[in-house]
Chain A
Amino acid sequence: MALTTQRRFTTPGPDETVEELASRALPGEPLEAAVDRIKSWNLHIFAGRKPAGLLLGSDVVFVEPPLG
């Protein structure tokens, strides 16, 4: 049975920074814009966590906005 489309995500690699993750997940984007997008789609990491932006190996990091 085919799965319905859900919001795409990735998980951080060991010691991967948000810049490295953004470059990997959004390769066509200028780095600064890519980082901003990743942050805006993942407030559970970049707004709701202390220290903000601490990337954990188990994190679900969305690479696209919520699906309509």
Chain B
Amino acid sequence: MAYDVVVRNGLVVDGTGAPSFRADVGVKDGRIAEIGAIAPGAGAREVDAAGRVVAPGFIDPHTHFDVQLLWDGAARPALEHGVTCVVPGNCSLSLAPLKAADRQRVVGMFQQIEEMPPEAFTTAFDWSWEDFAGYRRAIEKALSINVAPLVGHSVIRLWVMGAAAQERAATADEIAAMQDLLRQCLEAGAVGLSTSFVDIDENGRPVPSRFAQFEELDALSATLGEFGRMLQCVPEFYDTDITIARIDQLSELSLKHGIPTTFSPVFDSRATPNNVPRIMARVEEQFARGARVWPQMQTRPIDVSFSLLRPSLFFARLPRWVRVLRQPVEARLASLNDPETKAKMVADLGADGGERMMGKLVVRGGDAAPADLIGKTLGEIAAARGQAPALALIDLSLENGLDVAFLAASTGHEDTDRVTPTPANPLVHIGASDGGAHISSFSTYGDTGYLFSEFVRKGGHLSLEQAVAKITGETADIWGLKDRGRLKAGLAADIVVFDPDTIDREAELPAFDMPGDGMRYVRGARGIDTVLVNGQVAYAGGAYTEARSGVVCV
């Protein structure tokens, strides 16, 4: 056979933003061999794409699949959404390089920052590595999806400085050692370095990267410059002035060392209507100077679900609630049943008893949620009970074994009319999905489908070709993934076949598929027919295949 696979009769959207055209796509030895009219029967496997779009596989540049990839090489459900390449290791955290003695410390950070259950780190795999090359070998055993991993600044610091990484500035010798270590990681396949200016560990202490002087980041950026690789950071996204200061710092590093930089997230909010316009104005000024400082914006609105069964970022600004909910179940129940503690928790909400923060919460389910309350707001329930909303939340949870799930819907980034013009800006990098993180608070999957349903079909602010380019060719260019992101002869055959009229994300549902029967929220995909990774069909007809053709693809 001339080709291993021929994707036939589809509308080719090639990832460049150019107008679509009808053609067949021939794949041979993992690469795109031809795009054009291909003779019937030329493929060992033929994929009928009539009425469908044939596009490059989508690239998700902000994920935390670091641990999931060790037991699930498809990063489910990312692959079924058409995502063929993920970037884990964001926000200063990766699972390598990491000495055995420091594992528990980093696991605590992952649990705190990314809300991952401890069982994910203790029951599903054997820690067989310390260095970055070892982690790469561990995930490469069964990858169905491509991975372009970042290495975390916090773990690099921890490797070199030990406990002092969370106590002080580094010495010149320590900075030099960090540069050597970063260099080893980049040579072993890291796509860049991630850092964080906001995160804390499970004890409330700032993560190691936050103890770094700018000189340390400058030195590490010089090492990135040797490879032309990415610097990613999480800025203080809740404060526009600080975010602009970070844009200026990143721009200085970009210009000095010739590296791309990116920061995430950027949120639109009615409460801070000037945030995105001010950020974008500064980004445009810095790009005009030659800096590369890419703002990452997610497509989906911010929805947060929670129950009192486990800690949630919903309570991030209520330290007492965080302390109570972090306790083991028995102690947590004792605290919630203690009248004095309960009164203090309610008082923390202020004079309105939580009406403003909690009144619009909706009971969404949970195994023990009373059926007649599902769909009602906590404000309605509290009024019927004659209680303050915060007290009603606690008591309703206690009455039902804590297994009542609440939904805070559209708490930000929800006004499509405000958000829509921004993703179309050529300087906005579509990303920030957080895939694989915050798994018990919201689904981080399906942002790509939502891009097409909300911003192409409904809003009409992006053309089909523009939307595809945003999450394929443009993303590959930003990250230096030269072999990905476009349908072009000679490039890796990462291909997604989808229905442009139906591609979307499904409803958010709880799933119990994490190690130790841990719960996470997921969204299935709609309108995705077939996904090829490096020339092999990895997903088709609503099912994953046995293909393990993913690679570390830097």
Contact with A along B281-319 (1 / 0, CB 8 A): 110011011000000000000000000000000000001
Count of A residues near B, CB < 8 Å? 20
> Does residue B168 face the partner (Cβ distance < 8 Å to A)?
yes
Kindly report which residue of chain A lies nearest to residue B214, judged by CB atoms: A11
Q: Assuming the A-B contacts A62-B241, A66-B241, are A4 and B285 also in contact, with contact meaning beta carbons closer than 8 angstroms in the complex?
A: yes
> Does residue B134 face the partner (Cβ distance < 8 Å to A)?
no
B211 touches A57 (CB 8 A): yes
B211 touches A58 (CB 8 A): yes
B239 touches A44 (CB 8 A): yes
Contact with B along A1-43 (1 / 0, CB 8 A): 1011011010101110000000000000000000000000000
Q: Assuming the A-B contacts A1-B289, A11-B214, are A60 and B242 also in contact, with contact meaning beta carbons closer than 8 angstroms in the complex?
A: yes
Contact with B along A42-68 (1 / 0, CB 8 A): 001000001000101111101000100
> Does residue B245 face the partner (Cβ distance < 8 Å to A)?
yes
**Closest Cβ of chain B: how far from A46's Cβ, in Å?**
14
Report the bound CA distance from A6 to B216 in whole Å: 24
Q: Which residues of B lie under 8 Å from residue A7 when comparing CB positions? A: 241, 244-245
A6 touches B168 (CB 8 A): no
> Does residue B136 face the partner (Cβ distance < 8 Å to A)?
no
Within 8 A of A (CB), among B227-271: 236, 239, 241-242, 244-246, 248
Q: Which residues of B lie under 8 Å from residue A15 when comparing CB positions? A: 168-169
Q: Is the interface of A mostly helix, strand, loop or mixed?
A: loop
Q: Assuming the A-B contacts A6-B244, A7-B245, are A1 and B288 also in contact, with contact meaning beta carbons closer than 8 angstroms in the complex?
A: yes
Contact of B214 among A1, A4, A44, A58 (CB under 8 A): A58
Q: Which of A15, A57, A62 is packed against the most chain B CB atoms within 10 Å?
A: A57
Report the bound CA distance from A3 to B248 in whole Å: 10
Residues of A at the B interface (CB closer than 8 Å) are: 1, 3-4, 6-7, 9, 11, 13-15, 44, 50, 54, 56-60, 62, 66
- List 26 A–B pairs whose Cβ atoms lie within 8 Å, in order of A's numbering: A1-B289, A3-B286, A4-B282, A6-B282, A7-B244, A7-B245, A13-B213, A15-B168, A15-B169, A44-B242, A50-B319, A54-B206, A56-B206, A56-B210, A56-B211, A57-B169, A57-B212, A57-B214, A58-B209, A58-B211, A58-B214, A58-B217, A59-B210, A60-B197, A60-B242, A60-B245
